[in-house]
Structure 1
Amino acid sequence: MDNSSGLHDELSLLQDNAPIIILQILVAVFFSVNVLLIVTFFKKECFHTSMRYILFAVMLFCDSLLLLLSYLLLILIHFNVRMQVGICVVLCLTLTLYFTVTPVTLTAMALERYVAICIPLHHAQLCSTHSTIHVILIIHAIGFTRCIVIFSPFFASASLHVYTQVKFCSVEMFIIYKWQDHVRSAVSQLYFLIMCVVIVFCYVKIMKVAKAASGENKKSTQKGLRTVILHAFQLFLCLIHLWCPLIEAAVLRFNFMLFRKVRLFNYTMFSIAPRCLSPLIYGLRDEAFFLTLKSYAVFGLFRRIGINNRNAH
């Protein structure tokens, strides 16, 4: 009877932890792919002077950081592990910033495709390396706006001893007043609206150029159009994630166990899934990047094997 009960407990524990194990494998795979793509970006100098590739590298870095930190917080909540509020503040600030940076970067990349296809004569001027630095700074400034909305009331009202307390780490912990939720919701919806308008604008303009183009130009324009469509789908998943904290905060008030399940689902669908598309859009579909990736990953591996074999002999 005791053996049966023990086996049942082990199976129940394995069943509870199965989603976490699967997520751990997914996070490890996509983090490895992102690191490989980042290394590929630094392998070819022409990527360092193109806005599209620089923004892609920035997004890969943001996605990799998000995967690690968000998975860490997910694990801590799943296993009911607490941490000091001071450490939690740093983690949640970083997550809030880069959860916003990713969709804003996607919007900027869609605008870059619009400039490249619809006003190509101004592309070199508008999308120069100098302009790219300004764009990255603007993207981070926009992302930091949500951080100010969420965290400034907590910083203003919390005493120093609060930072040494040990609690469950979650962004919802820093929502002190009801108006914060309303303002956060309003800011998220404003971001959603503006980014959707920009994506639709880019799509319509590129569509018009695609209809008028012919030959090689038509092929290039159609590829740019498909890129914008993929950006739109990826952006849609990212923007839904902006609403997830509102849903999770509402669930947390009623049931902590349900909150854990909802957070796990949201993390899988709206955090992992959109970041799986980044390597597809520019890592595999882009010919120049794919050839460099193939040369580095495949031929580099064979070269190392050949060197090892020669050393062995």
Structure 2
Amino acid sequence: MSNVSYSYSNITVGLQYQGVLELVIFSCLTTVPACVSLLINGIMIFTLRSKPVFRDTCRYVLLYNLLVADTAQLAMSQILYLLALGRVRLTYPVCGMLSLLGNLTANISPLMLVVMSLERYVAVCYPLRHASIITIRNTTLAIFASWTVSLLNNLTRCLFLLQFPFDKLETLLMKDYCYDINWFPDSLRENYDKAYTVFLCVAAGLAVISSYTGVVLAARSASTDKVSALKARKTLLLHIVQLGLSLSSAIYYPLVFALARNVTRIVFVGVQNVFYVIIII
């Protein structure tokens, strides 16, 4: 997850061998599905804020927050991607802000899926207490906690910038395209990112799977609403798939590096664009 912001724009030196036609094709192949996804998200966000029943229902409030984070993440990733594709170099401060913002939103999705899964677990396993536990106030606190965790992760990563040799920079303009390895080349930071990613994957996976298991066990009870339990099971299965897709971005970087060692540059750039559409978008 922590590598997602620079993975989006990791076009590498292979770009210098591409012509204008290739750049246009790659831009269209990524921008079209990204714009379609942004349009769908935008319609859903507008719908969730247009009716009081959605604004006052906790599960839809959580869905709204998830959509906002995903939309911001996708928009940021596409901006970084197109900047790299167009060979636009940024200054270190601008690149750093864009990367940190992309990283902030990228960490929200798995955290929100955990909260949404726990909400369904409470709805099925503790139906009589659901209204008192899952309130708008508690939902707001859960959302605030999710953003706080992601923000603290970003602030922790910023501490590694204390080792960055700012005094040796001749200019603030980057020599390469905007991705973490260019403006944030620190082995300790990379180890921290790996540790945080593993922790997030394991914790989120256990929470969602445990919620699903709890709902399945509750569904076998004679006192449980079978229809409600069946719907919750399907919803949690969807959350498991969503979580897998969200966390799949963590494998993008090592996958790209493994590919770069085994194919030519032209093939690498083409396949990398396909991976970007499938894994990221």
TM-score, scaled relative to structure 1: 0.74
Superposed CA RMSD in Å reads 2.9
Q: Distance in 2 between matches of 1:40 and 1:157?
A: 45
Q: Does 1:191 align with 2:166?
A: no
Structure showing the higher helix proportion among its residues = 1
Q: Which moved more, 1:83-92 or 1:236-245?
A: 236-245
Partner of 1:300: none
Residue number among 156, 169, 177 corresponding to 2:186 in the alignment: 177
Q: Distance in 2 between matches of 1:28 and 1:109?
A: 26
Amino acid of the structure 1 residue aligned with 2:205: C
* TM superposition shift of 1:157: 3.1
For each residue in 1:171-206, what CA deviation from the matched residue of structure 2 results, as whole angstroms up to 9, or x when unmatched?
Answer: 222433222212211110011111111111011111
Number of equivalent positions: 261
Residue number among 105, 110, 120 corresponding to 1:103 in the alignment: 110
Greater relative contact order structure (CA < 8 Å, 6+ sep): 2
Residue number among 35, 39, 54 corresponding to 1:32 in the alignment: 39
Q: Distance in 1 between matches of 2:268 and 2:130?
A: 47
Change (3 A) 1:86 1:161: farther
Partner of 1:124: 131
Change (3 A) 1:176 1:23: closer
Q: Distance in 2 between matches of 1:72 and 1:256?
A: 23
Q: Distance in 1 between matches of 2:194 and 2:80?
A: 22
Residue number among 211, 214, 221 corresponding to 1:205 in the alignment: 214
For each residue in 1:226-275, what CA deviation from the matched residue of structure 2 results, as whole angstroms up to 9, or x when unmatched?
Answer: 11101101101111213434555677899976775565344322322xxx
Q: Does 1:267 align with 2:272?
A: no
Q: Distance in 2 between matches of 1:101 and 1:111?
A: 16
Change (3 A) 1:153 1:250: farther
Amino acid of the structure 1 residue aligned with 2:126: I
Change (3 A) 1:65 1:135: same
Q: Distance in 2 between matches of 1:263 and 1:122?
A: 49
Q: Distance in 2 between matches of 1:155 and 1:30?
A: 38
Change (3 A) 1:214 1:13: farther
Could you tell me which runs of 5 or more consecutive residues in structure 1 were left unpaired when the two chains were aligned. Answer: 1-11, 273-313
* TM superposition shift of 1:60: 1.0
CA contact (8 A) 1:185 1:246 kept: no
Could you tell me which runs of 5 or more consecutive residues in structure 2 were left unpaired when the two chains were aligned. Answer: 1-18
CA contact (8 A) 1:118 1:205 kept: yes
Give percent identity, aligned residues only.
23
Change (3 A) 1:111 1:251: same
TM-score, scaled relative to structure 2: 0.82
Residue number among 79, 91, 104 corresponding to 1:84 in the alignment: 91
Whose radius of gyration is greater, 1 or 2? Answer: 1
Q: Distance in 2 between matches of 1:61 and 1:101?
A: 10
